[in-house]
Amino acid sequence: MRYRLIISLAAVLALPVQAAQDGDWRATLERVSSGVVSIRVDGTRAFDTDWNQSSQATGFVIDAERGLLLTNRHVVMPGPVVAEAVFVNNEEVDLAPVYRDPVHDFGIFRYDPTDLQFIEPYEFELSPDRAQIGREIRVVGNDAGEQLSILSGTIAKLDRRAPDYGHGNYNDFNTFYLQAASGTSGGSSGSPVVDIEGHVVALNAGANQGAASSFFLPLDRVVRAVDLIQRGEPVLRGTLQTTFTQQPYGELRRLGLRHDTEALARKEAPQQTGMLVVAQIVPEGPADGVLEPGDILVRVNDGLVTEFVRLESILDDNVGEEISLYIERNGEPLVFNVVVSDLHTITPDNFLVFGDAVVHRLSYQQARHFNRPPRGIYVANPGYVLGTPAIPRGAVVTSVDRTPVDDLDALESVLTMLADGDRATLRYYTFEDPKNEVLRTVRMDRRWFPARRCERRDDLGTWQCRPLENSGKPTELAPATTSFPETGDERITALHPSLVMVNFDMPYSVSGVSDRYYHGTGLIVDAERGLVVVDRNTVPVALGDVRFTFAGSLEIPGRVEYMHPSHNLAVVSYDPSLIGDTPVREAELSLRPVEPGDTLWVAGLKGDHRVVIQSSEVASIDFVTFPLSRTMRFTDANIETIRLANAPQEIDGVLVDAKNRVVAMWSSFAYQGGTDLGQVNQGIPAELIAETVELAREGRTIRSLEVEYSPLPLASARGLGLSEEWAGKMESFDRKRRQVLQVERLVAGSPAAELLRPGDLVLAIDGKPVNHFRAAEQMVRDKEAVRVTVWRDGQELELNVATVPLDGGGVDRVLLWAGALLQEPHRAMAAQRGVEPVGVYVAYFGYGSPATRYGLWAGRRIVEVDGQPTPDLDAFLDAISDKKDREALLLKTVAWNNAVEVITLKLDLRYWPTYELTRDKTGWHRRDL
């Protein structure tokens, strides 16, 4: 009891001390908070270890007169960046990158001090010597998205190894980190770590992944860089392209450290518990062939070196100079002279962007991961042109068209000679298999995306870009001939000449379709004109590149001719002259309806171009119903399809009868169930194929009532009050189908949407009874208006309803603006979600763009710009025509459920220029705006 009383008295006596400390901390934090800023960061291009992205972080003022902010390297970013700072009083200023360290996680932004009107920010003092074990600290920053958050902690360790963010990511090295008992999170990167007197003792270096969220970067090298920048001098950084680790003396003895060396090191550096050991040497670097892993560093020139700060200081002061390294290897003392190289020369500051791919020279950061020399072309983002042949991010390109490409100049000289569509062979290796090169064929793109070369200019705070020259002439395609392989199977021999592999690649996500690469089996229906029918899960939209492969041997380009506006069919075409004497044969269609129990054969092409034949039996003919698409992509409706017993789902193609006549397309239907995209194969009758081909040949429209039906059994219709008279009529009209058509939903903006209602029973069109989908379509397809007889709420109604013309052009115009892809609202929006076709639809947005930063999400429609209505793309272009770079706009947007949101957006025309893509009879064309 007496002991417990003593403890209580001690606690009471400590209260005034604790209260005083709390008061001191409160005063300090109030004094320094004006110098801490929240930073909004947009990495506009994938570069080196970073993806293009939008994020948030923290910085703090270290020079109020010059407007210098200190933050992390991964905030300043090695690639193009657009950033702005928000001070504690909510004043916003634009930031320009000044410096990012090639190795350590610190960087510097600059702002214009004259942009601040209502605050005089506190200027922090950097005090690396005050970082001591047991020192109480506060992390002041933008923690977890809050503008200003304060987290407490105590420095627990001064020699924690640099955090490891994983293979291929940015990793700091050749430094210790400080460890503290505090928990920071995303957004606190770049926060000052201050002591009770307001001195900055370290820099919070927690990345968004949180792997280093409680670890801080020491300020020794930061102070040197800041001093040089303030004096207007370059920040030279030396390197041996060698990674060191500090090992304890016990391990050093096992590596061969001599006793007298240990005694000397312990005497001259008593605060150190170990020495530096070589861990990795980048091939062809200054230390390659000189140092070896396991070497113990003893002295550099004439001084003992046992820790990172001293070593880096010597290297930074001797760039381009020769230094002497004294090491011990297996107990033997050795001396080597090496020349210190410049870190900045092996840190990329240029990139090429073409076909949406971003490439640059392999950086020192990534060379360490690959254990290769820092040369070759690194794929930061494969984009469209490299993504099509499945070249991954992180690949290193070594040659293009047999020309070695060690740097961007070499690559640019090769690309300059490639015109749009030209092929080139490309060799590369990857992280997973760095010793084995892969050969791929790529096609140059100059149509879909701008091609440019960009260079970093820290004096301007931007990257300056110029167009990539186009000296090449388009290659004229020469006709070629192939033949179909002999298999000994009569059915394959008969069908193979009518089947062709169709590949479709989408450069942009449009109309709710997010996947970019498709392939499937096409059916040749007109050999003279080169017309081929496919499903819309092979060619989902009109925006993209079509390629045909005949007999697995001959590949030629094609184009989209017709997209069926309401059913899962598309018509694409090729130039028949390009296949020479290849014995293709247009398919014979059988329009005879199939019945359950019929024996049919499924024929299609596998991914390796082999023909697959499988016999099956018709299980049923049923109407299709799919869930509503979450992204409002095309989904088929009002169709009855053929379903097979034991049907193959791994191929698409055709269904043929015993005489090898095509009775249906074995089509792949794409649908969305929640967030997952699924697909199922079912048969589309040949009668609908024939009609689609006819529409494509004639280029005419088809008229639609714009109603989605569901079949309702007559018994259920009676339960809804259908009269006995009409029930008798429908029963006698069709004795097989005891059903009526019920309105499921209506296409928004159509005349039918004004007159019909969901739940209506459609009984007749122009006085003729109708009870199945195909008949309802055929009865209106050539009429501008029809008389619809419906049953609603116990009454028969006669309604005159105008039809709507639907063409097969699909999307034929898109606009790239502020990093968002804009288009006219597509029909699936109105058909599935009742979205009025008014405004400009956001189909896609690029990460790191203004669209991402300000929340201009895909699926929304822009209906006003600065109060000016934008009912269509032309009105939108008028509204933005005079807007300048970095100018702010007020956008009124509407979601699919008519929820209105007003957002502001600041333009970035440097990295996200505006251009338009339009389609005419000759194809797609890009126009810069």
The phi, psi pair for 693, rounded to 5°, reads -65, -40
Integer angstrom CA distances of residue 665 from 624, 654, 679, 685, 783: 15, 4, 15, 7, 28
DSSP assignment of 716-729: HHHHTT--HHHHHH
Nearest to 145 by CA among 230, 80, 74, 86: 86
Query: How far is Cα 853 from Cα 830, in angstroms, rounded to an integer?
Result: 28
Active-site option among 48, 55, 74, 545: 74
- In a 3-state reduction of DSSP, which class is residue 401? coil
Nearest to 607 by CA among 484, 485, 502, 496: 502
**Which residues, in sequence order, are CB contacts of 450 under 8 Å at separation 6+?**
353, 467, 913, 915, 926, 928
**CA dihedral sign of residues 148, 151, 154, 155:** negative
- In a 3-state reduction of DSSP, which class is residue 75? helix
Query: How far is Cα 25 from Cα 848, in angstroms, rounded to an integer?
Result: 38
Angle at the Cα of 360 from the Cα atoms of 357 and 361, rounded to 5 degrees: 150
Question: In this structure, what token pair is assigned to residue 553?
Answer: 């041997």
Integer angstrom CA distances of residue 733 from 177, 629, 721, 772, 831: 84, 35, 19, 12, 30
DSSP H or E run through 575: none
Q: How many CB atoms lie within 10 A of CB 335?
A: 10
User: 74 an active-site residue?
Assistant: yes
Query: How far is Cα 825 from Cα 814, in angstroms, rounded to an integer?
Result: 11
Contact 153, 182 (CB under 8 A): yes
User: 188 an active-site residue?
Assistant: yes
Nearest to 388 by CA among 343, 355, 361, 416: 355
DSSP assignment of 861-904: EEEEETTEE-SSHHHHHHHHTTPPTT-EEEEEEE-TT--EEEEE
Active-site option among 54, 55, 182, 188: 188
Question: In this structure, what token pair is assigned to residue 117?
Answer: 């009107």
Buried b (16+ CB within 10 A) or exposed e, 597-618: ebebbbbbbeeeeebebbebeb
The gap from C-alpha 910 to its chain's centroid, in whole angstroms, comes to 20
Active-site option among 48, 50, 105, 356: 105
The phi, psi pair for 205, rounded to 5°, reads -125, 30
Tell me whether residue 231 is exposed, middle or buried, using C-beta atoms within 10 angstroms of its C-beta: 0 to 12, 13 to 18, 19 or more. exposed
Query: How far is Cα 307 from Cα 28, in angstroms, rounded to an integer?
Result: 33
Ramachandran assignment for 552, one of left (phi > 0), alpha (psi -120 to 50 degrees), beta (any other): left
Long-range contacts formed by 334-338: CB under 8 A, 24+ apart: 334/295, 336/290, 336/291, 338/240, 338/286, 338/287, 338/290
Query: Which amino acids are annotated catalytic?
Result: 74, 105, 188
